Amino acid sequence: MPHLYIIEPLSMVDFSSYSEELSVHLRQGDLDGACSLYAVMTALILLGKVDVFEAKFGSRIDGRTKLGKLLSWWNEGDPLLRAGQELRVVERAVTSFLGKEFSIELNSFCLYEPKFLIHSLASNTPVLLAYTAAHFAHMTCAVGFYETNTSVNILCLDSGYAAPTLCGWNEIISIPKDRRTSATSFASGQKLLNISGIALKKFD
């Protein structure tokens, strides 16, 4: 039988009680603040503007194209984007480089009235969704929703978590209809303070 060897300290870990504190596997967000770039690229893949292979190996994207120039803009300054990016900065950049190909709508909507989100997603338009919690801010790509009697639940493809295997999303933002209840990120368990979004719709 082949001998399996794992270096310490992994060999000392009891994986039956594995916790986030013990993890040495890094994902987007562990070292960088580039969630905005991941969200934009996810939306562009969904819209057919770029394929997954190009997104993962960006050097194959021609730097003379509008998309190439957008990615070059992202590479300027701090490549890890440790401070993150505000949604308005992302909106201006995407509009500047891709505005002739997409209808781009920035909307800071009321946390308890996500009509903008529902309308955009029902029109097959991905939404770059930015939100803040008590200790962090984040951006993700909203790809769907479902509604119950008590909440509107936004389905997201989020670069900060493991890729989905049995469905098309890996995060749910639950927005309650009762204003006395906080909106919540299911993946992080955090209560959200505000949400805003950019709808990225390709011109017909």
Give the tens place of pLDDT for each residue, 31-77: 888 999 999 989 888 888 887 777 776 666 777 888 888 888 888 87
Q: How confident is the model at residue 184 (pLDDT cuts 50, 70, 90)?
A: very high
pLDDT for the residue 128? 92
**Which pTM does this prediction carry?**
0.84
Per the model's pLDDT, the better-predicted residue between 4 and 134 turns out to be: 134
**C-alpha distances in Å from residue 20, one per residue of 13, 24, 104:** 12, 9, 37
From residue 186, alpha-carbon distances to 57, 121, 150 in Å are 30, 19, 16
Cα distances (Å, whole numbers) of residue 133 to 86, 137, 163, 197: 14, 6, 23, 15
CA 6-9-13 angle, 5° bins: 85
Q: For 67-109, how does the pLDDT look when each residue is reduced to its tens digit (9 = 90+)?
A: 888 888 888 877 788 888 888 888 888 888 888 877 777 766 6
Q: What is the pLDDT of residue 78?
A: 77
Q: Residue 50's pLDDT is what?
A: 81
The single residue listed with the structure tokens 């509604």 is 147
- Per-residue model confidence as pLDDT tens digits over 130-158: 998 888 899 999 999 999 899 999 999 99
Helix (H, G, I), strand (E, B) or coil at 80: coil
**pLDDT at residue 35 in the model:** 92
* Domain 35-202 -> CATH class: alpha beta
How high is the pLDDT of residue 172?
A: 94
